[in-house]
Structure 1
């Protein structure tokens, strides 16, 4: 068992990483929570695979479980769906002393976190991350959000869980595409972190390599993210580095209307940003090449015709990182050395080229 401790001024929790945690869910959660009502939220992809067994383990550990399933996909990350879940919990008599468990990937983690933070102004929250994206990135750090209209993650909260369980065996039921999109976030983190981690991702040469090394990839990515969020919980400073590739990525992800997964859009965003920063003398050309190699070798896209379209620039205007007409763009001076570049939204057409 690998345990990463995440600690803030008024909150401490563990991220536990082990390939056998799916057999120990009841015990692990009973070690953190006393018996109570639990809303177990999942989606239509994960639910048929893991909901019954997870519910059984929780009930055997003394919890009163309300299973709640939503349709899989980004459309469930909405205020409407959050409101429906809150209504169902209220009808079931949930109180401030009860809890919510998110069983799923990034969408369910985000949605569950929003619901937990809003229900009676906040109830206890735990994440069981079943996708690589959730395991290496979104389950750690307490950022929760839902989409509104054509704007991604515009309504959300900072709300830390009481526990995060990361079990690589859940990845066995992911399609290759669902697995690989999460690897885009791993490459991002390795480039932000260190030469050692970046060299490790350079050894990943196939989708099978991702599966074989999933636990180690999660451990390294989580350790880096935990370090960053503990230093900057509310994204006032260095936590913004984690947005590397996301400004461009979020814009094209929305325009693609489901044709691009989040990690695929981030992969494109990283390469697009780095190539333009290299052109302007901030990054190095060989960094763009290295990023492309790591992403393309496992089938991730690194370019899109959506970049530079009128819709693309419209999404940048509505990006939540737009502060009074100025975007904080994340660039890499070198591996392990990210920096923030301030760019006016009005200057982005020239920057994108």
Structure 2
């Protein structure tokens, strides 16, 4: 059964179709109908593994040409790849009334979304996430970006999709490591503002990643995010809460040089955010310990010396955090927590204390 979740943004609102068979359910959706053409921007690995499934989503909409392949990995989120993709889109003579079909994980979705936002000052994009992480987070909310040497996602814009199709069939070939990494974004939603949801996750244990429970957990997480995005589309206020764990996580991911998956970095970042909150006396230590214990139970490592890419440098991590896009007034801005399900924005982190905290965590 396919779930439908509405992202309520008025005229820019859209549906998220979620579950087994979501591709079939989307065939007659208004976003895919009409006479306009669709340019397919697809992850090269997804095309190789799911050619017949990709053909399903292409069965109906008029195609502008063969799929434009996006290389695997974070290195594809660059100006060089963006320029190449835009050039291929121009060669297809796409018009503003046409649309982009973005088929792949977070890298493809971010890059394709930004390309759609820039092409002739904007055209529609339909997100078809193929990883659990992209389904839970990056495909919903309209954030698009590429990376810079100074950090992740520093160049981008907000460009909402016209439809999101999260078909569970794509998860069949997803490696277990990537499934676990994607699960971190589901846990994040509970930690931000839904203590009851976190308790349900705890009760499900490692079974939370099985098909029997995953759809319900994912629906809860997306519905939670939809409410925040609807209230604060461009991250002027409370939407920044969705970055819980990400300031620490992005620093780890950048320093790991590709050895660490985004979701793995977020999981470690969630544990760090709760531990730092406890260090400051803002969060009960038992909640921080509970968060770390559940993430470890879900197969997500949280101790910095145990992460791929270790050992890390506290000084280098802090420097990465100084360049985080959420910072304001020259101060490091963190999302911390008063407890499970009670996150808040901490605007002026003390850099010296943060450095000492990171040194303690790295030992």
TM-score, shorter chain, exceeding 0.5: yes
**What is the aligned partner in structure 1 of residue 317 from structure 2?**
312
Cα deviation, residue 194, structure 1? 1.3
Residues 121, 33 of structure 1: alpha-carbon distance in 2 compared, 3 angstrom cutoff: farther
2:334 counterpart of 1:333: no
SS at match of 2:155: strand
Q: d(CA) in 2 for partners of 1:319 and 1:333?
A: 22
Q: Conserved in 1, the CA contact under 8 Å of 2:39 and 2:63? A: no
Residues 124, 202 of structure 1: alpha-carbon distance in 2 compared, 3 angstrom cutoff: same
**What is the aligned partner in structure 1 of residue 355 from structure 2?**
349
**What is the aligned partner in structure 1 of residue 308 from structure 2?**
none
**What is the aligned partner in structure 2 of residue 80 from structure 1?**
80
Q: CA RMSD in A?
A: 1.9
SS at match of 2:281: coil
- Within 5 A, what are the aligned runs for 1:235-250? 235-250=235-250
Cα deviation, residue 82, structure 1? 1.0
Q: Return 5+ residue gaps in structure 1 as ranges.
A: none
- Within 5 A, what are the aligned runs for 1:145-184? 145-184=145-184
- Within 5 A, what are the aligned runs for 1:221-236? 221-236=221-236
SS at match of 1:27: coil
- Within 5 A, what are the aligned runs for 1:287-326? 287-305=287-305, 309-326=314-331
Q: d(CA) in 1 for partners of 2:74 and 2:290?
A: 30
Q: Which moved more, 1:51-60 or 1:34-43?
A: 51-60
User: How many residues end up aligned between the 2 structures?
Assistant: 352
**What is the aligned partner in structure 1 of residue 38 from structure 2?**
38
**What is the aligned partner in structure 2 of residue 141 from structure 1?**
141
TM-score norm. by structure 2 comes to: 0.91
Cα deviation, residue 203, structure 1? 2.2
**What is the aligned partner in structure 1 of residue 15 from structure 2?**
14
Q: d(CA) in 2 for partners of 1:236 and 1:61?
A: 36
**What is the aligned partner in structure 2 of residue 131 from structure 1?**
131
TM-superposition CA deviations, 1:157-192 (whole Å, max 9, x none): 100000001122221110000110001111111111
Q: Conserved in 2, the CA contact under 8 Å of 1:325 and 1:346? A: no
Cα deviation, residue 139, structure 1? 0.9
Q: Conserved in 1, the CA contact under 8 Å of 2:132 and 2:182? A: yes
**What is the aligned partner in structure 2 of residue 277 from structure 1?**
277
Q: Which moved more, 1:15-24 or 1:55-64?
A: 55-64
Q: Which moved more, 1:57-66 or 1:162-171?
A: 57-66
Q: Conserved in 2, the CA contact under 8 Å of 1:327 and 1:344? A: yes
